[in-house]
Amino acid sequence: MTLDISSAPIASDTTDHAPPSARATAPAAAPAPRASLLRDLPASVVVFLIAVPFSLGIALATGAPLTAGLVAAAVGGLVAGTLGGVPLQVTGPSAALTVVVAGLITQFGWQLTCAVVVVAGLLQLLLGSLRVARAALAVSPAIVHGMLAGVGLTIAIAQLHVVLGGSPQSSALANLVALPGQLSTAHLPALAVGALAIALLFGWPRLSRLPGKAGRFGARATRIPAALVAVGAATGLSAALGLTLARVELPTWEQHGIATLPSLSLLEQHWPTLLAAALTMTVVAGVESLLSAVAVGRMAPGPIDLDRELRGQGIANMVSGLLGGLPVAGGAVRSTANVRAGASSRWSSVIHGVWVLIAALTLSTGFRHIPLAALAALVLVVGLQMVSFAHIRQVHRHREFPVYLVTVLGVVLIDVPLGVLAGGAVAGVLALHRLTRAHVDVVAEPDGSYTVRTHGPLTFAVVPRLSRTLTRIPAGATVAVRHDGSFLDHAAYEELHTWRAGHQAGGGRVSMLTEPHEDDVLDPDGTVRSGSSPGPHRCRAWTPWVGHHCIEQAEDDPHGRLMEGVRGFQQHTAPLIRPELARLAREGQTPSQLFLTCADSRLVTSMITSSGPGDLFTVRNVGNLVPAPYEPGAADDSVAAAVQYAVEVLEVRSITICGHSGCGAMKALLDGVHEQSGPPTPLTRWLRNGRGSLARLRRAPASFAHRAVGDEAEQLCITNVVQQLDQLLAHPSVERRVSEGSLRLVGMYFDFADAQTYVLDPQAGAFVPVSEHRPGTDDPSDTRRRLVLDPPAAGAPAGQPLAA
């Protein structure tokens, strides 16, 4: 997950480790060669403008010749771009290996380091040929994110010394110790140049957020990568003021060092260290590239081949090492910039390599004017962004923060290999702890029977506790043993069945279930009873929802039926989810999605989305309407407030508007309820927010991709979803986030009769079954341009789309 600085907001990638599912559908048809080239050329220029300053900065941070960064960027584009298995992935110098490479150069020199890069590439090629690429995805996300964060902190601390006009020490701990002295003797010209570069790196992408004309100008300006602007402005400032600064010392290509065969005596003396470095480089670069490949595969349609990608990365590292370049890896953020710039094939990455090669051969004089403080500021910001608070929240949510913390501290205080091993050791201990973490509870029932409930995996380590618990049950009692379905090993199985045989021999009765039994019934008081002793009626769990005979018996007391459900939840469900709800109570809500849907009682959002507490920020109203803020007299502050809160405070990453079949609000609109004479009622005033949907129905109705629309009411239901998405874009906070590419809008429709969910496909311009929808194939930054299926007509009335 190499981190690059682009014109997008500076942020680290949040890739998870699940591999993309097998492509069940055929990939999108490849564009014609001419059309592909017209898209790949501009994209290659964008990536090139990012790659050059970043490559020089990484070379500076490692202590390698600065030409090594340019060699790595060119080889990454030309070799890995041609041979890799992920067409839109961009390969270049690896930020995650900065500490490893710096240590090798300090200890063994540059030429021997190049030889280690060659060996690492050979090992990657071998692993790719053995088709073990997906095994790298099994590494714990906490270890990967911890390693990246540790490397980022090490880089940032070291480069802070360069920004202050000094030189970094040999380790992060030494840099921290020397920092107070460096601050007291800071070189002000270098600090000024570095501060300018840092300010531009953080501030440039935010120009698009300015209000009015300034924001529109900023949106055009931010097409230029922030890294290029920062380095260019810092270089211009130093030249204009005639500042005396340390600048890039770019060696001539005749002086450029390449890999040489090390002496046998050196190999015999240091082969364990060199082999460990090569293995570390292989693993770190391989995992980095494969995780980036998974992220790119989710952003762009088309098949990916992880084994081929690993082989391509291996060959690229071999060539880079032979030519005197840094180790390379696929970069998630650089690849994201490639996708967002409109690249359609691997030629974008290849051509970007050509641009880097041309620049390296022809612009060496210009590179020598760049202050080292500017490059150091660039790498410092990259290092800081490798510490992702989003990753920390995710790791903490999955209770793996100790693994993350140990990995970070190990990488910073020791080195990358030992830090990763320490994190892996903690992850193993936590896994073993979870395997042995089981609860055995005995509940005495009012009728004199006992219920034994087990939670978690029952392994040999739990057998002593299980035995002590079971022996406390009186002889001759009726016992129901309920296991939650987790793992049950042979030792625990033998213990349960041995106890069961002994208890039954003493006159007791034992039933052992691993899931709710077919004959279990739920009495109105919430008591679960055996099938042999049914209560007044046999309403099993969920049957009050699907069993009409149960509902009819309780129609005279709907409040009592509600309380029965609450009691059933309190007794059976609450104990299972209490730890998770306690966590949410402590940490607060952090949903990733706003789900706006109708208030219809038949639409159960948690059921159709398979979501739980904390997953969705849900807003429901009559007709799933989003009043446009520019509509006079009809806007509703409650919906606008919820949207603003979700987007600006909760920072959700997607908003879904979900309509449904048989919507009463849509039928009322077709019947003209909102235009009735006389004083308007609250309902008629509210329904006026749907006039834009009626206008769109007449002008450009929405449709399904693979079936006909049932009737006019259904056509209005799906057209209303499209219209509300358009009105949602009129909210400033939504429009800003969508323009940045950090917020995705989704249209959804649920058909009750078929229990089928449809999703609005911007590519097809119609609703498709969710089983055929490929999430992630559309760039969220293009939502404003492609989501709206029909632009507003001239003179469109209030409530019509603003987006074009």
692 φ, ψ (degrees, to nearest 5): -65, -35
The pLDDT assigned to 72 comes to: 94
* 730-748 average pLDDT score: 90
| HSE (side-chain half, CA atoms, 13 Å) at 745 | 30
Question: Who wins on pLDDT, 122 or 571?
Answer: 122
* Token pair of 621 as six digits: 């109203």
Q: How many CB atoms lie within 10 A of CB 486?
A: 14
d(CA 755, CA 439): 38
d(CA 13, CA 165): 31
Secondary structure class of 751 (helix, strand, coil): strand
The pLDDT assigned to 759 comes to: 94
d(CA 81, CA 316): 9
CB 632 within 8 A of CB 592: no
Residue 605: is its pLDDT beyond 70?
A: yes
What is the tens place of the pLDDT at every residue in 648-668? 999 999 999 999 999 999 999
* 578-590 average pLDDT score: 85
* 403-415 average pLDDT score: 89
CB 608 within 8 A of CB 750: yes
d(CA 417, CA 411): 8
CB 317 within 8 A of CB 285: yes
Secondary structure class of 250 (helix, strand, coil): coil
What is the tens place of the pLDDT at every residue in 523-544? 333 333 333 333 333 333 333 4
* 389-404 average pLDDT score: 87
Residue 778: is its pLDDT beyond 50?
A: no
Residues in CB range of 342: below 8 A, 6 or more apart: 39, 42, 43
Band (517; pLDDT cuts 50, 70, 90): very low
d(CA 65, CA 667): 71
Secondary structure class of 94 (helix, strand, coil): coil
Closest C-alpha to 741, from 233, 22, 208: 208
Average pLDDT, the chain: 79
Residue 747: is its pLDDT beyond 70?
A: yes
Rg (CA), the chain: 31
Q: How many CB atoms lie within 10 A of CB 525?
A: 10
Question: Who wins on pLDDT, 794 or 593?
Answer: 593
Closest C-alpha to 23, from 775, 768, 610, 747: 775
* 23-38 average pLDDT score: 54
Residue 464: is its pLDDT beyond 80?
A: yes
621, β-bridge pairs: 598
Q: For the chain, what percent of residues have pLDDT higher than 90? A: 24
Band (487; pLDDT cuts 50, 70, 90): confident
Residue 297: is its pLDDT beyond 60?
A: yes
Q: Which residue has the tokens 């029932």?
A: 445
Q: Looking at 25-39, 458-472, 476-490, which range is the least confident one?
A: 25-39
Collect contacts of 694-702 with beta carbons under 8 A, ≥24 apart.
Answer: 694/669, 694/670, 695/796, 695/797, 695/799, 695/800, 696/722, 696/723, 696/790, 696/800, 696/801, 699/790, 699/793, 700/789, 700/790, 702/760, 702/766, 702/767, 702/789
d(CA 375, CA 364): 15
331, β-bridge pairs: 90
Question: Who wins on pLDDT, 462 or 533?
Answer: 462
The pLDDT assigned to 341 comes to: 77
| HSE (side-chain half, CA atoms, 13 Å) at 268 | 3
Residue 320: is its pLDDT beyond 90?
A: yes
454, β-bridge pairs: 440, 483
660, β-bridge pairs: 750
What is the tens place of the pLDDT at every residue in 188-208? 888 999 899 999 988 888 887
Residue 485: is its pLDDT beyond 70?
A: no
d(CA 617, CA 639): 12
Find how far residue 524's CA is from the centre of its chain: 44
Closest C-alpha to 317, from 134, 84, 505: 84
The pLDDT assigned to 515 comes to: 46
Secondary structure class of 479 (helix, strand, coil): strand
Find how far residue 236's CA is from the centre of its chain: 37
Question: Who wins on pLDDT, 640 or 37?
Answer: 640
The pLDDT assigned to 527 comes to: 38
The pLDDT assigned to 49 comes to: 78
Q: Which helix (H) or strand (E) holds 749?
A: strand 744-751
The pLDDT assigned to 777 comes to: 44
What is the tens place of the pLDDT at every residue in 77-118? 999 999 999 999 999 998 888 888 988 998 888 888 998 999
Band (258; pLDDT cuts 50, 70, 90): low
Question: Who wins on pLDDT, 656 or 522?
Answer: 656
Please, what is the end-to-end C-alpha distance for the chain in angstroms? Answer: 35
365 φ, ψ (degrees, to nearest 5): -65, -45
d(CA 361, CA 365): 10
d(CA 65, CA 323): 12
d(CA 68, CA 73): 9
Most confident of 53-57, 372-376, 473-477: 473-477
Find how far residue 336's CA is from the centre of its chain: 13
CA distances in angstroms from 739 to 244, 334, 390, 712, 745, listed in the order given: 41, 19, 21, 34, 11
The pLDDT assigned to 301 comes to: 62
The beta strand positions in 582-725, using DSSP E, are 593-598, 616-621, 654-660
What is the value of pTM for the model shown?
A: 0.56
* 3-14 average pLDDT score: 38
* 265-287 average pLDDT score: 84
Residue 791: is its pLDDT beyond 90?
A: no
CA distances in angstroms from 271 to 127, 258, 263, 268, 720, listed in the order given: 21, 20, 11, 6, 69
Query: Which residue type sits at 519?
Result: D
The pLDDT assigned to 7 comes to: 38
The pLDDT assigned to 33 comes to: 67
Closest C-alpha to 460, from 428, 426, 494: 494
The pLDDT assigned to 541 comes to: 39
What is the tens place of the pLDDT at every residue in 142-157? 888 888 788 889 888 8
CA angle 725, 640, 657 (to 5 degrees): 30
DSSP 8-state secondary structure symbol assigned to residue 368 = T
Residue 4: is its pLDDT beyond 50?
A: no
